Amino acid sequence: MNTDFNYSSVASLIQAAEKNNLPVSALVLSQQAQQIELDEKTVYEKMASNFQVMKECIEPGCDEHLKSTSGLTGGDAFKLRRYSESGKSLTGSFLSGALYRALAVSELNASMGRIVAAPTAGSCGILPAALITMQEEKGCSDHDCVMALFTASAVGMVIANNASLAGAQGGCQAECGSAAAMAAAAITELAGGTPHMVSQAVAIALKNILGLVCDPVAGLVEIPCIKRNASGVAGAFVAAEMALAGIDSAIPADEVIWSMKRIGDVMSPTLKETAEGGLAATPTGRKLHDQVFGPGNVSGGCSGCSGCHS
């Protein structure tokens, strides 16, 4: 197997997978094992542990009485799960199930629960919701879901090397956008898509979220971040569906990532996690800030982009 490649571009990753006639995940697992000088079984088990943590987030995240430390959020995953399981959902159990799982992980994060930063704590619900929904609804095995995490992680590394994963640097497009692209890649491989389809899913998911600002109310990763996780997993499934149907993105994945970097560079600092613009600057946003920190006090929240709860 030729694993002489790096994570400089999606194109090089796909070319290597096609050259070796392997799914992206198998290629990445082998390359990572060689790079860190561990056997593949050990590397796989480390990733399997991450997936287990992801799965363990759903039930506590759906607790009816869950509340964040600030008191601003909590309990929405419970509501959406109840609605999903009632049979009244407009989109059926598949999409509504993905939505409540994304909320569950994100609300657990806001409540200082144990999560996996994927790729950040602020976007932690998107990838788990995608994988767990594929497992619950399509019967994907633990093994296949764990392998799909290697595909997702490879996409994340390419984005990190060429743009950013941090809202403070690139806006929410860099956090929820990157997570949606990673999830779209994982979903596509789980559904039997080719490496080429994986790259198209990445491009479609990311370009559909370009320009999304990071404007956390009161400086906390709760409003609107949590609901954006639900939107992000929906976008990941949209992108995967199109890619699996054979639809190509007119703009290649690497050029979309390039565009995300340039957009982040010119984005106003007020829209990059400073809580000085966007929804954070609305009258209601300011009231919620005062509710948490008191009038005139500077917010003391953090973005969670370092994944400090993982």
pLDDT for the residue numbered 30? 95
CATH number (1.10.132, 3.30.1380, 1.10.10, 1.10.4100) of 23-293 reads 1.10.4100
Mean pLDDT of the chain: 94
Give tens-digit pLDDT for 129-151.
999 999 999 999 999 999 999 99
Which of 226, 245, 193, 203 shows the shortest CA–CA distance to 304? 226
Single pTM value for the model = 0.94
Q: Are 123 and 229 in contact (CB under 8 A)?
A: yes
219-270: per-residue pLDDT in tens? 999 999 999 999 999 999 999 999 999 999 999 999 999 999 999 999 999 9
Q: How confident is the model at residue 5 (pLDDT cuts 50, 70, 90)?
A: confident
